[in-house]
Amino acid sequence: AQSVTQLDSQVPVFEEAPVELRCNYSSSVSVYLFWYVQYPNQGLQLLLKYLSGSTLVKGINGFEAEFNKSQTSFHLRKPSVHISDTAEYFCAVTRSVNSGGSNYKLTFGKGTLLTVNP
């Protein structure tokens, strides 16, 4: 089984500051990793995903994440945040298969509320 720990439940930052949202995972098998963003009363939007290959993954809206197998981490970063980045962010993990899509369930972290203040 896999598990995900998001170390910060809330992260307040000022506009144009850099931000890092931390995610650690646990698994006995190879995994795929994902970051999703959720705005109030909406579903989840994929920011980025790591399936294989380069450990630095770039996503939408200027976000990037780095897969660190030795530290079992997949931290999300953005060099300069905007007010519109205020949302809930979820890290998720699933066991890997060959294709990038899976019948295996995603396991989510508890989420990190990013609040960007003017």
Chain positions contacting another protein, by CB under 8 A: 34, 36, 41-46, 49, 90, 99-103, 105-106, 108-111, 113
Query: Smallest gap, in angstroms, from Cβ of residue 101 to another protein?
Result: 5
Q: Please, what is the Cα angle at 115 between 111 and 118, to 5 degrees?
A: 170
Task: Name residues whose C-beta falls within 8 Å of residue 80's C-beta, 6 or more positions apart in sequence.
Answer: 16, 17, 18, 62
Least Å distance, CB 103 to another protein, is 5
31 residue type, one letter = V
- Nearest distance, CB of residue 1 and another protein, angstroms: 12
Report in angstroms how near the CB of residue 93 gets to another protein at its nearest.
12
Sign of CA pseudo-dihedral 72, 65, 21, 6:
negative
Reference 61, options 49, 78, 83; nearest CA is 78
By the 8 A CB rule, do 9 and 111 touch? yes
